[in-house]
């Protein structure tokens, strides 16, 4: 197995794009990658072959060009054959798609980031995904069984909150956590209603 020994800094124009790259990047995705680079830095080097042709990092290269960067970090994969390079261009993208999320843990991380006023737009999720995650709707989560037969569990509801209401809800969630203490819940509701008056 090959392990790269160094990351090099190259003039951006030295990197040659792979003309047969089948992975596409929308303008909005490139904008998000650029915003991520501005916040976190250029944290994932471009991967190129021995002929300076890009193997992985086409979206990062487009974002770097959009930002007007003159230099980019590069790792040279000089050991790849032409077939390996062609295969890795595909594998690098496809293998990443097979990962999943622990949505409950992700939601907790998002809550903590939002509580610290971190810009969640930098994470790459769209608004609907963030709403779902921050609203606590987790795929595969089992509903608790209720004895009340009058409750229709087959109806999904969406609650639309204003930014202020969302902040209030998040504060309440932070204070209660995942508590099932009904007295604490009603005390919090009373306090929130007093604040609203």
Mean pLDDT, the chain, integer: 82
CATH number of 8-97: 3.90.1530.10
Parse the chain into domains and list their residue ranges: 8-97, 103-138+154-196
Q: What is the pLDDT of residue 15?
A: 98
> Tens digits of per-residue pLDDT, 81-129?
999 999 999 999 899 888 899 988 998 899 899 888 888 888 988 888 8
DSSP annotation of 91 reads H
Q: Is the pTM of this model over 0.75?
A: no
- Euclidean distance between the first and the last CA atom of the chain, given in angstroms as a whole number: 66
């Amino acid at each position: 197995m090959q392990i790269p020994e160094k990351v090099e800094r190259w003039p951006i124009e030295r990197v040659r794009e792979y003309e047969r790259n089948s992975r596409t990047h929308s303008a909005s995705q490139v904008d998000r990658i650029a915003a991520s680079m501005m916040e976190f830095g250029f944290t994932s080097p471009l991967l190129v072959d021995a002929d300076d042709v890009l193997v992985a990092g086409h979206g990062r290269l487009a974002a770097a060009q959009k930002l007007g960067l003159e230099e980019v970090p590069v790792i040279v994969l000089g050991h790849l054959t032409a077939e390996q390079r062609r295969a890795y261009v595909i594998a690098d993208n496809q293998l990443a798609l097979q990962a999943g999320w622990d949505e409950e843990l992700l939601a907790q991380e998002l809550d903590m980031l939002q509580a610290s006023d971190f810009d969640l737009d930098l994470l790459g999720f769209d608004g609907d995904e963030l709403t779902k995650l921050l609203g606590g709707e987790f795929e595969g989560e089992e509903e608790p069984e209720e004895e009340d037969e009058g409750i229709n569990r087959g109806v999904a509801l969406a609650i639309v909150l204003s930014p202020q209401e969302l902040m209030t809800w998040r504060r309440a969630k932070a204070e209660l956590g995942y508590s099932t203490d009904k007295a604490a819940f009603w005390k919090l509701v009373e306090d929130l209603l007093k604040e609203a008056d």
